[in-house]
Amino acid sequence: MKSFDVISVLLLASSLTSVYAHGFVGQVAIDGKWYAGNVPNNYKGPSPIRLIDDIGPVKGSSNKDLICGLSAQNAEMVVPANPGSTVSFQWSGGGGQKWPHNTGPLMTYMTSCGSTSCDKFDPTNAKWFKIDQLGKKDANTWYQADIQSGSAFNVVLPQNLAPGGYLIRHEIIALHLATSMGGAEFYPSCTQVMIGGNGSGSPSPTVSFPGAYSDSDPGIYDPDVYNPGTSYTFPGGPVSNLAAVSDAIVPGQTASAAFPSGTNVSPPPSPSQGGNNGSDDSNGDDNGDNSGSSSSPSASGPAPTSNPAGGSSSGSDSSGGSGSCMLRRSTDTNANRPRHYSRIMRRIMHHASAI
């Protein structure tokens, strides 16, 4: 019985380590001013980054979570930016680790929030335009490998953006399992900004999410992804006429941004108040802050959870490939998501104490 307990602990510990195999945008900066993001499913305070409920990937090109991430909720802050502003994205892995993957592209899209404040905007039917894409740095190495090493990604916004509210959708597609159909892992993240200035650009072409990708696209299903020297075809169509001025991999942040001082931790908006559930919040107060400060979120949402690492995993990846990320089946799509690892930790401690 003792040996069985030891094996159980080892298996559970192995499963726990898979929590680190996914990730999210941990913080974002506009022209050098950093804003904290919430650990998925562990709300701490107002942010311009839309909160997702798990660090796991979005799976499948028809998944509605391709818009802004797994069950993404509207964020409270709408932060100021301008045409030509530098936007920095710092990615994080689960459990406070670095981003875990090194294969696949980084792409950035934008969409206008129109006449709706971006903290209320439902992007279900939004039209997105691609402003930037970054793939391989040489024949065999991806820029994503620099993100894995802790670097941040900078993109300089298009110069002719019309003023108004926008979502910036920054995405990593992890292709380490893309040798199998459906193996690609999508990690989209949306940040809410208010663009100033007097630009007048009208973007073309535009795409929809879902709809922009197909599971069979050569940049998503890529049997040759590990063959040295092979070229890469970006999915999602071309970069629009409103293209980023430049992009760059830059040294990452060693310190975490702080949430706005003087704010109280309170629950984020519930799905019925906005997000990717197909409905806007037309009744709640506007919590957006176009000056970069923030207000407390609505107290009518669900209580925040206290899962420090954002999730863990169980089961096997739908691609069936070796080294696959351990995932569970989603209830609303055929997507897979990792489970929260706190239960696993409790089981590890329980078994360990019995040994």
Which domains, from first to last, does the chain contain? 23-250 (2.70.50.70)
- 1 or 32, higher pLDDT: 32
| CB-based contact 216:124 (threshold 8 Å) | no
Determine the Cα–Cα distance for residues 80 and 173; give it in Å rounded to an integer.
Answer: 27
pLDDT(298) > 50:
no
- 186 or 345, higher pLDDT: 186
Reported confidence tier of residue 325, pLDDT bands at 50, 70, 90: low
pLDDT(307) > 60:
no
∠ Cα 134 135 139 (to 5°): 140
Q: What is the mean pLDDT of residues 122-142?
A: 97
* Residue-level pLDDT at 6: 41
pLDDT(20) > 70:
no
pLDDT(351) > 90:
no
Q: How far, in whole angstroms, is CA 108 from its chain's centroid?
A: 11
Determine the Cα–Cα distance for residues 23 and 95; give it in Å rounded to an integer.
Answer: 9
* Residue-level pLDDT at 158: 98
Between strands 79-81 and 185-195, the pairing is parallel
| CB-based contact 244:250 (threshold 8 Å) | no
* Residue-level pLDDT at 265: 54
pLDDT(353) > 60:
no
Query: Positive or negative CA dihedral for 119, 275, 298, 94?
Result: negative
pLDDT(22) > 80:
yes
pTM exceeds 0.85, yes or no: no
Q: What is the mean pLDDT of the chain?
A: 79
In terms of phi and psi (left: phi > 0; alpha: psi -120 to 50; beta: otherwise), the region of 274 is left
Reported confidence tier of residue 280, pLDDT bands at 50, 70, 90: very low
pLDDT(62) > 90:
yes
pLDDT(355) > 60:
no
Determine the Cα–Cα distance for residues 20 and 309; give it in Å rounded to an integer.
Answer: 8
pLDDT(10) > 80:
no
pLDDT(275) > 60:
no
Reported confidence tier of residue 21, pLDDT bands at 50, 70, 90: confident
| CB-based contact 155:86 (threshold 8 Å) | yes
Q: Please give the full DSSP string across 153-215, using - where no structure is assigned.
A: EEEEPPTTPPSEEEEEEEEEEE-TTTTSTT--EEEEEEEEEEE-S-------S-B-TTTS--T
Flag the least confident range among 30-34, 102-106, 278-282: 278-282
Q: What is the pLDDT of residues 204-213, one digit of tens each?
A: 999 999 999 9
